[in-house]
Amino acid sequence: MAQQLEIEFKNLLSKEEYEALCTTFAIPNEDFHEQANHYFDTADFRLKKAHSGLRIREVQNRFECTLKEPAAGIGLLETTDLLTEEHVNAVLNGATLKADEVDIRLKKLQINPSDLQLLGTLFTKRAEIKYNGGLLVFDHSRYLDTDDYELEFEVTNEETGRIIFEEFLAKHSIPIRVADKKIARFMAAVNKKRG
């Protein structure tokens, strides 16, 4: 189990901006990896109401469950447990999630793991590069009938990170576009599809 503070800046990109950045930074295809994020909440969306999110991520034969909660001050508190592939497959087929440290945090939110339901899956093709003391993340995500492109900048200092990120966007003539979390974009697409 690990807990960490996540401080990141996000910006939605057009497909053309995304491709231009990948070309500018000469990111080879082999540097991209595929990941699947399976999102969960209760039937009455108690996690969403607590401004939190729960996912199981599959990436390169690694399976981890992460609960993201608002942190005091800036950023998000992430609590992560490693899971086995067998347990993930069982959970995706209706079994109750068992993730020791995440379960402790869920109980503090008064959420029983047996109440969690799979909302759906978002697939992302991702590359990461170090940049000015942070990590630039290039994401192309697919969910429902949607393709979106996003740039993230993960940092340890909010103030410095914001300045570097905004200067980066200006340097590459990319307008600042507010980017919700992936789970929020995914849920907006689900709600749109439901009508």
**CATH number of residue 128's parent domain:** 2.40.320.10
Give me the pLDDT at residue 71, please. Answer: 85
Give me the pLDDT at residue 150, please. Answer: 98
Is residue 194 in a domain? no
pLDDT digits (tens), the chain, 195 positions: 578 878 999 999 999 999 999 999 999 999 999 999 999 999 999 999 999 999 999 999 999 999 999 988 778 899 999 999 999 999 999 999 999 999 999 999 999 999 999 999 999 999 999 999 999 999 999 998 899 999 999 999 999 999 999 999 999 999 999 898 898 898 888 888 776
For 44-104, the DSSP string reads: T-HHHHTT-EEEEEEETTEEEEEEEEEPSSSSEEEEEEEE-HHHHHHHHTTPPP--HHHHH
Is residue 150 in a domain? yes
Identify the DSSP state of 14. Answer: -
Question: Which residue range forms the structural domain that includes residue 150?
Answer: 2-188
Query: Whole-angstrom Cα distance, residue 59 to residue 82?
Result: 12
Give me the pLDDT at residue 187, please. Answer: 84
Is residue 49 in a domain? yes
Is residue 193 in a domain? no
Give me the pLDDT at residue 1, please. Answer: 55
Spell out the residues 6+ positions from residue 42 whose beta carbon is closer than 8 angstroms to its own: 111, 115, 116, 117
Q: Nearest-5° angle of CA 156, CA 153, CA 125?
A: 130
Domains contained in the chain, number: 1
pTM, full prediction: 0.88
Give me the pLDDT at residue 151, please. Answer: 98
Is residue 67 in a domain? yes
